Structures are given as C-alpha cells and as structure tokens.
Amino acid sequence: MADIIDGKAIAADVTAKVKIVADSLLEKTGIQTGLAVVIVGEDPASQVYVANKGRTAKACGFHSVEHKLPEDTSEQALVDIVESLNNDPAIHGILVQLPLPKHIDAGRIIQTIAPEKDVDGFHFINVGKLGTGEIDTAFVPCTPAGSMLLIERVLGKDLSGKTAVVVGRSNIVGKPMFNLLLAANATVTIAHSRTRDLEALCKTADILIAAVGRPQMIKGDWVKPGAVLIDVGINRIDAPEKGEGKTRLVGDADFDSCQAVASAITPVPGGVGPMTIAMLMANAVTSAYRSAGEEAPSF
C-alpha cells in the first residue's frame, strides 16, 4: 500500500515559512509583500479558489487585493487594470484567474502582466527562462512547482536514473512539469491523447504525473509497482452514494487501485491543490525580495 503524500500538511509548512520570510522582509526593508488576484465572471469553482488565495495571502501577512469584475468586462478594461497593477509599487504579484470569458484574449492579458510580477509563470519571459534552465530568476507555474516539492519530499532533489512520464501537455502543467523533471535529471516523456499504448508507457514510470483532466482515468494496473504517483487532476463527479444530487472531488487517477501498487500517492483533495496555493505565496514573497534587491529564499 502506497504512503499518502499529505499535500495539505506540506503546503502548511511552506506557507508558515513564507510568513516568516515575509515578516523578515517587512522588518528589514519596510516592504510588505503585495498580491493582486483578478477574477472576471462568476464561475463558482473559481470563486472558491480566489477566496482560498485571499485567505492564505492574509495568513502570510501579505497586502492582498482582489479585483472582482463582471463577466461582460471588456478586454481593454482588463488590460488597463493589469497595467495599473504593473505600475503599482505595493503589488509584487499579479494573478489573473483563468479561464477568462470567451470574448477576452487570455494570451494578450497574460503577456500584459509584467514578467517580474507574473507569479503564475505564464509570461513568455518566464516560460523561456524555465525552458532554458534559468530557473533561479524565473517564476515557475505554481502547480508544477508544488508537484516538484512533493516529489522532492519523497525522492530527494536529484532524480538521476529515474524515469518520469507526464500524462498531459498543457502549458500550465504538462510542459512546465516536463522542464522541471528534466532539470532534476529525470528521463522524461510527455504522453497525451494521441499517444499509442498509454497504459504500457505509464507502466515504465518511476514517477507518474497525471494531468489530463479525465476523472479516474489512470488505473492501478497502469502503474509500475513502487512508483510515485502525483495526481494533478481535480474533477467534480456525481456521488449518489452520498445522497441525491451530491458530488465529490476525484483526481485523474483511480485512487484505490493505484494506491495498491504505488509506493507514494497524492490524494484529491488534499494533495497538489493546496500546494498550488502555497507556491503562489512563495512566488509572491520571492517577487517582493527581488524588488528589494534582496536574495530570495528557496522553498
């Protein structure tokens, strides 16, 4: 039976450290880390995440601002808000919650965020730095960064000799995950919907990252005995066993069958999700340190 990797507890460790270093920057330089989260529209899941971010930012002692904009906000109005945050010296990190409404070009908005405040790590400058190994001055996307920290807790920092398979090729998770695993010396393959014999490929992985967005797709008999399984998926499915109309969260891996085979596995909820928020806080305080010309701590 695999050990369950307690993402909630590890995320709490990270945010406790963020608070300590944020307090120490404030004491030394008078700079309070500022994080701005911008949300457009009313998607209920997005509202939950944004509320979590605001709460955690306050717990870290940050200056936390939230811009809640109506669904019919124009692209230009959003560009103007991002530019005003770029120019606001009290703000060190800017996150524009995705997805954006269809009438807004999300790519244009992301590239409008100043790279040095892009705590999501989605700007071309940060993507390029990660892709060329300049990780120390980049912002790394929060979900992959948090997943790496969980892997580090189990396997250490050096993944030499390990085979990793990332299932999913998104810009937000799959591709940055590939780069981080590669930088840690793993031998990495990205699989996706057009991969032939996905099951056999997954079975080669010492480290398996499930980031496809399909509930419970990865089954125990796809997993190499002793593998470390990081489940990035967060899917809400019907749970009639809990009562009529009830739902529950599941990952992209079928937890019970995978737990029987892996050596360590992240649960959903309580795995990668809380780490995403913790790494956002880490990126924000890192940005504040850089703005002060101070050496940023590592997490």
Ligand X SMILES: Nc1nc(=O)c2c([nH]1)NC[C@@H]1CN(c3ccc(C(=O)N[C@@H](CCC(=O)O)C(=O)O)cc3)C=[N+]21
- Interacting residue ranges for ligand X, rule: CB under 6 A: 48-49, 52, 95-98, 120, 142, 234, 249, 268-270, 273-274, 276-277
Nearer residue to ligand X within complex by CB, 142 or 166: 142
17, 19, 117, 120: the active-site residue: 120
Contact 50, 97 (CB under 8 A): yes
Task: Report the nearest approach of ligand X to the CB of residue 259 (Å).
Answer: 17
Cα→Cα distances 81→40, 63, 87, Å: 12, 17, 10
Burial of 236 (0-12, 13-18, 19+ CB in 10 A): exposed
17, 19, 53, 117: the active-site residue: 53
> Does 111 qualify as catalytic in the annotation?
no
> Does 72 qualify as catalytic in the annotation?
no
> Does 97 qualify as catalytic in the annotation?
yes
Task: Report the nearest approach of ligand X to the CB of residue 187 (Å).
Answer: 28
Q: Which residues are annotated as a binding site for NADP(+)?
A: 168-170, 234
Residue of 94, 98, 123, 19 lying closest to 62 (CA atoms): 19
User: Residue 55, SS3?
Assistant: helix
Nearer residue to ligand X within complex by CB, 33 or 56: 56
β-strands 163-167, 187-191: how paired? parallel
Nearer residue to ligand X within complex by CB, 206 or 252: 252
- State the Cα–Cα distance between residues 141 and 244, nearest whole angstrom: 37
Nearer residue to ligand X within complex by CB, 48 or 200: 48
Q: Which residues are annotated as a binding site?
A: 168-170, 234
Task: Report the nearest approach of ligand X to the CB of residue 234 (Å).
Answer: 5
Q: Dmax over Cα atoms in the chain, in whole Å?
A: 56
What is the full DSSP assignment across 152-209? HHHH-S--TT-EEEEE---TTTHHHHHHHHHHTT-EEEEE-TT-TTHHHHHTT-SEEE
Nearer residue to ligand X within complex by CB, 94 or 184: 94
- State the Cα–Cα distance between residues 244 and 71, nearest whole angstrom: 31
Q: How many residues does the chain have?
A: 299
Task: Report the nearest approach of ligand X to the CB of residue 49 (Å).
Answer: 5
Return the beta strands (E) in the chain as ranges: 3-4, 34-40, 63-69, 93-96, 163-167, 187-191, 207-210, 228-231, 235-238, 247-250, 264-265
Task: Report the nearest approach of ligand X to the CB of residue 172 (Å).
Answer: 7
Residues involved in catalysis:
53, 97, 120
